[in-house]
Structure 1
């Protein structure tokens, strides 16, 4: 394992200008861990929000907000060191995967990860393409499970997907298409073709058609766009629907504003008021990212098949602040850091 060992880190919460390149100590794997020389790591919206302080109360309780804070969950790279009891990987293996929220994330030249959360890279995809997948794939699969969506339950039935043209939405479209669902995608008009290419049966322009004007016919709904639309989406369920999941719920924000106990109480009340709009028996879930070994294993099978209409905007590690601005300004393409270009 050779250096230099660098990381894009912040010393305090704030704007993108807080992200600076600095040296990191040579990483050492513990039991069951590996060190990965990072070839590519994605910058997701959660990274820019965490940088600004979002979720700091909960992440502090998890030990995931210590300064200097290195953000990032996704990675693709090469194993350069192996800890005790790791038998599935060895030095030189090319891998990709996801790391749980921590203070030592993947926006670095080297990262220590649980070997169980690293997969061998499949053929036919670049490190940048692979690094764009795990966080979103894992979040989407948790959302589908939370809404009660399985292949058997949803085949041939209508699903409404709000926020269909983002990183989560495009993966959800491909997975739902594979399950045989008939998906109506809600997105900006300029993203219509991308949604159709990813598997949508039809696309609703969110700028032209209000959600409340849509028919009340859906077996499930997913919200990857705006918490304020949750109640409206629930009113579009048909009797006997499966359920709804949202990734844009107010839980972390409420904890930040009110503290742990008051924040949990406020979140419970908000959740309770919204679920009154669901038909009896339907499920309702607030989805949070959490790496899962089984879900990652399914990603290894899905990755070559996703074929998403996705462009990459790449940045060296010393331009990580620019990558954050790229995400915040909703510029075209997935922001991907290529740390090895900085070394």
Structure 2
């Protein structure tokens, strides 16, 4: 008997988006504790193009070693079509979504993928698969930063830099849900109506005014941009405040410590349990999903090219099933 196959996107050589090749590959088989998912949509995230480039943005001694070829992607939404030994919580036909095997290797850019059962949650009934695939990594990052690590509660001012993007637009909403007294969104002007519609109390267009010139006494700042100029936010913070970096940046940590500002950042991880909490917020109408663009799986290279141009409003998603 021949091996079952599927269509997937693979990277055969590190480099530009053109290295994403749409081709026929063997279909995976779920192992113990895993399920097989018929992927309907896959989210596109920064770690996907970091992997495609061979993690060139990471110091060589710290780079993950991913043998070629590989199928990128970790955000999925789809339907379970098979279960491995020991799986009792899921069965064929269940609609699920999840951040699969992160941090680590997954294979979401494909018609089928396997996932540990514990990394999945039931897809929100309020969302289609395309919208659901935009949720896992970005929303889990926002949730883990704000709820698990920073433990945001009622009161206080939260500022989100890069608020229009995937992580940012979820941070704005989750800060509001947590009870922040004021949520300040920083993005380019085209995102103003979008972010105010998500609950931002104040909007700052960084293309027109420097944030550090117009904002003070921030309790928690989520920087979803990073980069060499992150330290410009120090005057924005109150003493005792927390600056949380989603991406690497230069924050002049010694100066921050002198000012009584804690600077930290964390790696998002897979959690079906936390995704179930987020799904409940979505189904209750309290958490919305922004989609910047949708591409067919065969056009993954175009999706990556768009994503790397930046200035997204929400997420980019690959549609696998029409």
What is the TM-score with the length of structure 2 in the denominator?
Answer: 0.89
Give the aligned partner of residue 262 of structure 1: none
Q: Secondary structure at 2:321's aligned position in 1?
A: helix
Q: Structure 1 residues 4 and 339, CA, compared in 2 at 3 Å: closer, same or farther?
A: farther
Q: Structure 1 residues 150 and 58, CA, compared in 2 at 3 Å: closer, same or farther?
A: farther
Matched, 1:15 2:11: no
Tell me the CA shift for residue 329 of structure 1.
2.6
1:63-74 matches, within 5 Å, as: 65-74=66-75
Tell me the CA shift for residue 312 of structure 1.
5.1
| Equivalent-residue separation in structure 1 for 2:280 and 2:313 (angstroms) | 27
What is the TM-score with the length of structure 1 in the denominator?
Answer: 0.84
Matched, 1:196 2:177: no
Q: Secondary structure at 1:50's aligned position in 2?
A: helix
Give the aligned partner of residue 162 of structure 2: 163
Give the aligned partner of residue 123 of structure 2: 121
| Equivalent-residue separation in structure 2 for 1:333 and 1:183 (angstroms) | 18
Give the aligned partner of residue 215 of structure 2: 215
Q: Provide Cα deviations, 1:73-122, integer angstroms capped at 9, x if missing partner.
A: 11000111100111100111111111114444201111110000111122
* Structure 2: 5+ residue stretches without partners: none
Matched, 1:97 2:98: yes
Task: Decide which structure has greater strand share.
Answer: 2
Q: Structure 1 residues 205 and 38, CA, compared in 2 at 3 Å: closer, same or farther?
A: same
Give the aligned partner of residue 257 of structure 1: none
| Equivalent-residue separation in structure 1 for 2:320 and 2:61 (angstroms) | 29
Tell me the CA shift for residue 299 of structure 1.
1.9
How many residues end up aligned between the 2 structures?
314
* Structure 1: 5+ residue stretches without partners: 251-269
Q: Secondary structure at 2:32's aligned position in 1?
A: coil
Tell me the CA shift for residue 22 of structure 1.
2.0
Q: Structure 1 residues 190 and 288, CA, compared in 2 at 3 Å: closer, same or farther?
A: same
Tell me the CA shift for residue 328 of structure 1.
1.8
| Equivalent-residue separation in structure 2 for 1:200 and 1:135 (angstroms) | 22
| Equivalent-residue separation in structure 1 for 2:104 and 2:201 (angstroms) | 38
Q: Structure 1 residues 102 and 333, CA, compared in 2 at 3 Å: closer, same or farther?
A: same
* Candidates 279, 292, 298, aligned match of 1:300: 279
Q: Secondary structure at 2:172's aligned position in 1?
A: helix
1:83-94 matches, within 5 Å, as: 83-94=84-95
Q: Secondary structure at 2:113's aligned position in 1?
A: strand
Q: Structure 1 residues 309 and 125, CA, compared in 2 at 3 Å: closer, same or farther?
A: closer
Tell me the CA shift for residue 195 of structure 1.
1.0
Task: Decide which structure has greater helix share.
Answer: 1
| Equivalent-residue separation in structure 2 for 1:28 and 1:146 (angstroms) | 34
Tell me the CA shift for residue 333 of structure 1.
6.2
Give the aligned partner of residue 130 of structure 1: 132
Counterpart contact for 1:237–1:279, Cα < 8 Å: no
| Equivalent-residue separation in structure 1 for 2:32 and 2:200 (angstroms) | 44
